[in-house]
Amino acid sequence: MNTNKYLNFGYLSLIPVTFGIIISTSVVNAATLPQDNTFCLNPKPYELAEGKSTNEEQIELKVNGMTCGACSKSVKSALLRVTGVKDAVVSHEEGKAVVIIEKGKAKTDEIIKAIEQAGFSASKN
């Protein structure tokens, strides 16, 4: 009977150890998953199929002052508020923004001004 009692206690002591292993592996997995703000900018991420015409234009800008993913998101949201901007891809790692606009609806100066109002500096590549 006494051995059975110690055997049950041994199994009970494994419960906290098991939870510790589960929690530590989930923390490691969460820390190593790619974050939303990391992307790789190709030279022309919005390259159009050859032979198709569109009224979209691509503007590449150098953006200074971005240090993290939150900076990239701030710049992107500022860009998307500009009239005529259809989409934007911003990378703080490369210090670059690629902006897709409708031809004739947005000017580069307006786009740069929006980035500067967000607290960063920008220039045409």
Q: How far apart are the first and last CA of the chain?
A: 81
Distance CA 65, CA 95 (A): 8
What does the pLDDT read at residue 119?
A: 94
Distance CA 101, CA 96 (A): 16
Q: Which pLDDT tens digit goes with each residue over 60-111?
A: 999 999 999 899 999 999 999 999 999 999 999 999 999 999 988 888 999 9
Q: Quick check: 77 and 83 in contact, CB under 8 A?
A: no
pLDDT surpasses 70 at 49: no
Distance CA 85, CA 100 (A): 6
Distance CA 41, CA 83 (A): 24
pLDDT surpasses 60 at 16: yes
Gyration radius from the chain CA atoms? 25
Reported as a pLDDT band with limits 50, 70 and 90, residue 33 is very low
